[in-house]
């Protein structure tokens, strides 16, 4: 027998061995899972297939939540208006700690223990804990629909009021502000908006009373600001006229 034929036989034997091992593993898996476990596994695989086949990922329709229309997207207040004490860094200003050196949101300050709320209806899709230069932080993404998502970054106080994948209506409490461990600024909520996964200026989407309140607090800080309004976008300055 030639060396080539012997090599082919050896490869075939190895392939058959691998197939047999996989078949034995499959038999073991089938014998150990109950019908309830198989049902859960099948449901999970089906949902994954549906999600991967949707170009715009209509998540809310698939899992039974309401899907909100983009043309109805109006942002309410992320904190009760009477609880807003300060407005710090705003959208579009230079910020060395942010990706690209630009601040992609509005920092809204309030007293420790103040609840922050859903500024729009939606579902919480991520909750991530981290640590910045000042304290432990937590970020929450509230998905309005497949196009718009709200982001809250804050210092947490104890546990969240709302949980992952929880569906919220506008005004529902998400959590409570904690305090910064160190740093020269007080606790705040960094509030931002993403459209199709990219940061956008929140000003065009803010309800009028919210925009006026935030801008009033920002302008009445008692010291000179780097920009005159709560966004540094030239195309959005007419909102403040």
pLDDT tens track of the chain, all 241 residues?
Answer: 544 444 444 444 454 444 454 456 556 556 666 776 667 667 766 655 555 444 444 444 444 456 788 999 999 999 999 999 999 888 887 765 656 667 789 999 888 889 999 999 999 999 988 766 666 778 899 999 999 999 998 877 667 899 999 999 999 999 998 876 554 456 788 899 999 999 999 999 999 999 999 999 999 988 888 888 999 899 999 999 8
Residues 114 and 183 in one domain: yes
Between CA 122 and CA 66 the distance in angstroms is 8
**Of 216, 241, 193, the residue nearest 91 (C-alpha):** 193
192 falls within a domain? yes
Reduced 3-state DSSP string for 125-156: EEEEEEECCCCEEEEEEEECCCCEEEEEEECE
Question: Do 37 and 121 share a domain, yes or no?
Answer: no
Number of structural domains (the chain) is 2
- Dihedral angle of Cα 226, 227, 229, 230, to the nearest 10 degrees: -60
Does any domain span residue 92? yes
Q: Looking at residue 94, what is its pLDDT?
A: 73
Tell me: do 89 and 126 sit in the same domain. Answer: yes
Domain that holds residue 45: 3-52
DSSP codes of every residue in 211-228: HHHHHHHHHTSSS--SSS
Reduce the DSSP state of residue 27 to 3 states and report it: helix
Contact 189, 111 (CB under 8 A): no
pLDDT of 11 reads 43
In angstroms, the CA 163 to CA 155 distance is 16
pLDDT at position 136, please?
A: 74
The answer on 92 and 32 residing in a single domain is no
Answering whether pTM is above 0.75, one says no
CB 144, CB 125: distance < 8 Å: no
Residue 179 lies in a domain: yes
Has residue 65 been placed in a domain?
no
The whole-number pLDDT of residue 27 equals 60
Asked whether residue 63 is domain-assigned, the answer is no
Task: Measure the CA angle with vertex 173, ends 84 and 169; round to 5°.
Answer: 110
Residues 42 and 158 reside in one and the same domain:
no
- DSSP bridge partners of 66: none
Q: Which burial class, exposed, middle or buried, applies to 106 when counting CB atoms under 10 A from its CB (0-12, 13-18, 19+)? A: buried
Residue with tokens 């549906």: 50
Phi, psi of 125 (to 5 degrees): -105, -20
Give yes or no: residues 111 and 173 share one domain: yes
Cα–Cα dist 174/151, whole Å = 12
pLDDT for the residue 189: 87
Domain of 100, CATH number, reads 2.70.70.10
Same domain, 223 and 105: yes
Q: Check whether residue 97 and residue 211 sit in a common domain.
A: yes
């Amino acid at each position: 027998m030639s060396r080539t034929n012997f090599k082919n036989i050896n490869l075939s034997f190895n392939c058959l061995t691998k197939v047999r091992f996989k078949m034995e593993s499959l038999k073991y898996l089938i014998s150990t899972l109950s019908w309830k476990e198989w049902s859960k596994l099948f449901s999970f695989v089906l949902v994954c297939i549906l999600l991967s086949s949707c170009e715009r990922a209509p998540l809310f329709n698939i899992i039974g939540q309401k899907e909100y229309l983009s043309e109805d997207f109006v942002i309410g207040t992320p904190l009760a208006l009477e609880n807003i004490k300060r407005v710090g860094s705003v959208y579009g200003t230079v910020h060395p700690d942010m990706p690209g050196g630009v601040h992609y949101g509005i920092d809204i300050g309030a007293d420790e223990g103040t609840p922050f709320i859903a500024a729009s209806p939606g579902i919480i899709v991520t909750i991530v804990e981290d640590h910045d230069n000042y304290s432990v932080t937590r970020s929450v993404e509230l998905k309005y629909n497949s196009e718009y998502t709200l982001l809250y970054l804050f210092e947490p106080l104890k546990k969240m009021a709302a949980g992952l994948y929880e569906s919220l209506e506008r005004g529902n409490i998400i959590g409570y502000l904690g305090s910064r461990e160190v740093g020269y600024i007080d606790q705040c909520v960094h509030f931002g908006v993403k459209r199709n996964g990219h940061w956008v200026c929140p000003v065009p989407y803010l309800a009028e009373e919210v925009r006026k309140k935030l801008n009033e607090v920002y302008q009445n800080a008692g010291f000179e600001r780097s920009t005159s309004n709560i966004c540094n976008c030239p195309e959005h300055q007419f909102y403040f006229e």
